[in-house]
Amino acid sequence: MGLCLSRSSTPPVKKRQSKRLTNQATASVNGGGGSNRWSRNRSSKREDSLIQERALATILFQQQLQNGGGGGGGIPFDRSTSLRYPNSNSKKNQPLPRSSSSRARSLTDPLLQPHQLVNQEVKVDDLETNHFVLVHGGGFGAWCWYKTIALLEEAGFKVTAVDLTGSGIHSFDTNSIASLSQYVQPLTDFLEKLANGEKVILVGHDFGGACISFAMELHSFKVSKAVFVAAAMLTSGQSALDIFSQKTDSNDLMRQSQIFIYANGNDKPPTGIDLDKSLLRDLLFNHSPAKDVALASVSMRPIPFSPVLEKICLTDSNYGSVRRFYIETAEDNAIPIALQQNMISDDPPERVFHLKGTDHSPFFSKPQALHRTLEKAPTNEPASKPAVVSQPVDNTKNVPAGIHSSNTNNYFRADGQNCGNFLTERRSTKVQAAPGGGSSLGYLFGDGSSK
């Protein structure tokens, strides 16, 4: 009985054994051991969670389609949670800042894309002309405008870059060019072929300024505006050599880099000018990217000498009838800013633009800034010149002390006096009183006392 009592006093053990036997039996029926049983349970749980996630994704997808997210397009991807859950305190329709920086982005910032540089208020179709004709400088070719071409075309303008005779891919021998008209012929031929009433905007760089001036004189009625980019802007009777020779500094980079070519013999005048490739960066590209300097070093050709010597004839009725703009390059070693300003003061254009931090080749060093400036030319209205109104002068306040004269005296006003040869209406040429009052130099001017 004691054994019976001991056995009957431990019923939980029997239940655990019975339960274990039941589980083992179940496992044997399913054909696997205990380890397979637990792994199968874990995998079934993962499968259930995956099924639930897929079902939830399907429901969300169907809701998105019902809310207008379909139509054949993909579901828009939220860029951040701030777009989906905006701050309740923020103003309505307030755009999120694209950057945490408070600095205003510069127009010359290379991170800007071409479409960001376009003046959205400008409608190209409404302009007098949307056709730019780009004319390269001496030694360059149409290839140098590749960035400007891309930016202008992106903005909706039509662009033509011309290779002048013996430049770029033009096959003519540079040493055989005998005149400016021969050198500019590709440009003048292009202008002659324009349709009646069609106008263009000429853009000239470097020696290309003299070339567009020549074309403006011949075809002024086909040129809407002219833009001189660090270019030779001549007056009538001048040659490009006259302009460039104003740089008399013996250490001038231009003089150091020039290599004269004598194709007709050393006893004859030069036929061309080449540039020392080792000095190109310092002379023309001191702020330009290395890849553009490399492009120029393998693409530049000699400059014909005869067109540089030729004096140009410009008239007010032709050349003077075209609106002109000038773009200064602040850190130019080929045509220094002082020389550019001299040309501007000799024959002022309608407007002058100033590009900071750019070398002689802004189409390489500052292409976005150059594009932005060129874009202003077709939309710029003629500057109205205010009528000159002569202001009445109160001469009584300007009469120097000691002088009693009349309006017939050429030096009646104080601002009309010179430095000592003071003329009066007196019969004697001796001045009785110094201009502005008495003087201690009585032996020269007199002390004003009666003798």
pLDDT digits (tens, 9 = 90+) for 227-281: 999 999 999 999 999 988 876 555 578 888 999 999 999 999 999 999 999 999 9
Q: Is 282 a catalytic residue?
A: no
Containing 82, the helix (H) or strand (E) segment is helix 81-84
Beta strands 258-261; 272-275: pairing state: antiparallel
Distance CA 158, CA 200 (A): 10
pLDDT at 116: 44
Sequence-distant (6+) residues with CB within 8 A of 335 are 206, 230, 231, 232, 244, 329, 360
Per the residue annotation, which of 163, 332, 359, 371 is the catalytic one? 332
pLDDT in tens, 297-332: 999 999 999 999 999 999 999 999 999 999 999 999
| Model-wide pTM > 0.95 | no
pLDDT at 67: 57
pLDDT at 266: 92
pLDDT at 35: 52
Q: What distances in angstroms separate CA 26 from CA 21, 37, 38, 52, 414, one per listed residue? A: 8, 10, 13, 28, 126
By C-alpha distance, which of 347, 125, 72 is closest to 231?
347
Q: Is 173 a catalytic residue?
A: no
Distance CA 53, CA 55 (A): 5
| Pair 351, 273: CB distance under 8 Å | no
Per the residue annotation, which of 206, 219, 359, 371 is the catalytic one? 206
Distance CA 332, CA 83 (A): 48
pLDDT at 253: 85
* Torsion, CA 40, CA 43, CA 49, CA 53, rounded to 10: -140
| Pair 145, 157: CB distance under 8 Å | no
Tell me the CA end-to-end span of the chain in Å, nearest whole number.
172
By C-alpha distance, which of 318, 327, 90 is closest to 191?
318
Per the residue annotation, which of 136, 205, 287, 360 is the catalytic one? 360
Chunked into runs of 10 residues, the chain (451 residues) has average pLDDT values of: 42 46 44 52 66 70 57 43 41 44 46 45 62 96 97 95 95 94 97 94 97 96 96 95 74 85 93 94 95 96 96 96 96 94 95 95 96 82 46 46 45 42 40 46 44 42
Q: Is 206 a catalytic residue?
A: yes
